[in-house]
Chain A
């Protein structure tokens, strides 16, 4: 159905994002493309979906892309984008402030489909993708996982022959990932071909039949999924964590004094039924610890750290930072003790150069300490960003921005760093950088809170695990005990590394 021949794409950097790629997708095929961050997955998918070079024109493009034997350029735009539908990794790039039904119906409305037919298709998609509860909501008020499912429904509205999904499990908790796989399997008769890119193949492998690995812009031939999934070498060569890897040795931590204590925390922010998002939350983070925080999408993890940082008002409870009551502190004062690195680091950048961002992390804009630039340069070098010091931070790739987030949190010297779903940790180089960050902080008697849906990552690096459920910390203890706890069982998730109760210890 779709063929790429000798396709090379460059965006002005020294190396092309995609080099001499060949790819064939036949009717009925379900192909997974895996590679490290920055390996060219998104570029490949954008070429396959016709975005590059038809909507986004890169400085370098060569090769041929044909759909049903005709060059993509010979297809009318309507024909092309109803035959192939893509959902980007960053779904925000395809969304704006419409209602859920508006967004799903948008392609049909634009193409003049009669109202009755649109309403029938809307009902069908809302039911098939189990989105009934989201009807009437505005898209930008939804969680990341909900937005992704609505974006997939929109992509399916015109009944495409090829569905292209770029990192569809990003931001989804394990239950939501399982639901996505179940829905894709259920809809298989309606989706003749599927092309998916992922860093974490394990979560999506049940819905695909072949895998192609991508390294440094070069695509290896596709192989049957069963032949490659259990093999370690090809994944490591591609810079990706092997899906069937062994469990990493445990990090032993000697916890020091409490750096952050939270007790009886109740938020003012409430759920639709009037209950506070967090009702009675209590925990401690001690020097030298990596504390993993897990919970369902919408459990209140974001609200929890926003409350601790003073960005969300609390109704009751105590927050003690380094032995001092901090409820009356401004968010800026709290931030001098607690650094926050979000999943999308772009959200916290506002300086003109990469170096300025790190200098700001050190000085918080209060002074022009002469040594700050020197410290900032050293921090950039540590995370491989020295060459980008004078670049605008918004010009960096998402991966480079994630590393910049680590450099800022490291250089800030705060007692605690909160890492919210660090996606760079899903490949070998990113995991190495994260390890460097953790080692630096722990050796200095600092601590890290890691918020993640990646249970293998939590199992690998956390010395303690918190499970947030029902507005409370339902479990607080070592990861081994967490996977066997009733609180974890209540989530209904599979344990990391396929662990089940009794195997973890």
Chain B
């Protein structure tokens, strides 16, 4: 499974778009739902990190989509079963789409994205935007969990309380998360300035990049380059 992490970011991105395209061209729920389920099984099989959190989020998404679509379709006079199946088809498309991008996000480190972009000759700004977009979300998620632990360690009961209270406490994490995001942005900005990032200068990479991106430097092997 480790090899999945080493696949070139652009190969994963292309595969993700292809899977998403399949989900959206699927004519109805009979194709969409199995595709969504297959994606979830794939994520479980490769032991993607934090799958439990993703499943919770996606369950909430499915519930909201089905409820809102069914209400709308029933008001328009559609039969209950037809409305349910149509809503399920839409929810399945969203599950497949989010699963594909969750896979890309979790299996692509900012470093491997930087390397893939530099090797592809992308402008430095595009390189930076892509690596930050896909790299910063897991960092913010980790910070969100860390703040929850800080709340627990300070005596805030967030585990053994009703759901509305839990949601209210989760919202209270917004302020420190915002502060942390600003600090992170400052750290990245400082790091870019100190270490010579220049939008007018093409970057290079220490990694050998092909369909796979070299995950670590071999200390004793000869570097043949690519």
Chain A bound to chain B: yes
A positions within 8 Å CB-CB of B: 51, 55, 77-78, 81-82, 85-86, 92-99, 101-103, 105-116, 118-120, 122-123, 126-127, 132, 135-136, 138, 140, 154, 158, 309-311, 330-333, 335-336, 340, 347-350, 352, 360-361, 364-366, 394, 408, 412
Cβ–Cβ < 8 Å partners of A348 in chain B = 150, 153-154
**If the complex has contacts A95-B187, A122-B206, are A101 and B217 also in contact, measured as CB distance less than 8 A?**
yes
Cα–Cα, bound, A340→B158 (Å): 17
**If the complex has contacts A97-B138, A361-B154, A364-B154, are A135 and B219 also in contact, measured as CB distance less than 8 A?**
yes
Which of the residues A51, A55, A350 comes within 8 Å of B172, measured between beta carbons?
A: A350
Cβ–Cβ < 8 Å partners of A101 in chain B = 111, 206-207, 216-217
Cα–Cα, bound, A310→B149 (Å): 10
- Is there an interface contact between B156 and A109, defined as CB atoms closer than 8 Å? no
Which of B112, B114, B158 has the largest count of A CB atoms less than 10 A from its CB? B114
Cβ–Cβ < 8 Å partners of A330 in chain B = 152, 157, 159-160
Cα–Cα, bound, A467→B54 (Å): 40
Give the secondary structure class of A's interface.
helix
- Is there an interface contact between A332 and B195, defined as CB atoms closer than 8 Å? no
User: Does chain A have a CB within 8 A of B139?
Assistant: yes
Closest to B182 in A: A394
Cβ–Cβ < 8 Å partners of A96 in chain B = 110, 135, 139, 184, 187-188, 191
Shortest CB-to-CB span from A391 to chain B, Å, is 14
- Is there an interface contact between A95 and B193, defined as CB atoms closer than 8 Å? no
**If the complex has contacts A96-B110, A349-B176, are A111 and B155 also in contact, measured as CB distance less than 8 A?**
no
**If the complex has contacts A96-B184, A335-B152, A335-B154, are A110 and B198 also in contact, measured as CB distance less than 8 A?**
yes
Cβ–Cβ < 8 Å partners of B109 in chain A = 97-99, 102, 138
Closest to A82 in B: B196
Count of chain B residues with a beta carbon within 8 Å of a chain A beta carbon: 59
Cα–Cα, bound, A129→B219 (Å): 14
Residues 84-139 (chain B) with a chain A CB within 8 angstroms: 109-112, 114-115, 118, 135-136, 138-139
- Some 13 contacts from A to B, beta carbons below 8 A apart, are A94-B191, A96-B110, A96-B135, A98-B110, A108-B204, A110-B197, A112-B202, A136-B216, A309-B153, A331-B153, A332-B152, A335-B155, A340-B154
Cα–Cα, bound, A237→B199 (Å): 49
- Is there an interface contact between A350 and B175, defined as CB atoms closer than 8 Å? yes
Closest to B114 in A: A102
- Is there an interface contact between B223 and A107, defined as CB atoms closer than 8 Å? no
Cα–Cα, bound, A108→B158 (Å): 46
Which of the residues A140, A154, A365 comes within 8 Å of B195, measured between beta carbons?
A: A154
**If the complex has contacts A95-B187, A96-B191, A98-B109, are A109 and B206 also in contact, measured as CB distance less than 8 A?**
yes
